[in-house]
Amino acid sequence: MLYLAVRRRLERKKGAFGLGRFELPVAICAPAWTLIALFVLVAPREALVSVVIVVGLLLAGGVFFLLMLTFDRKALETEPGGAGAFKH
What 3-state class would DSSP assign to 84? coil
**Structure letter (DSSP) for residue 22:** G
- Model pLDDT, residue 85: 54
What burial letters (b/e) apply to 4-26, b meaning 16+ CB within 10 Å?
A: eeeeeeeeeeeeeeeeeeeeeee
- Model pLDDT, residue 64: 92
- Model pLDDT, residue 18: 76
What is the mean pLDDT of each successive set of 10 residues along the chain, which is 88 residues long?
62 75 85 86 76 87 90 74 57
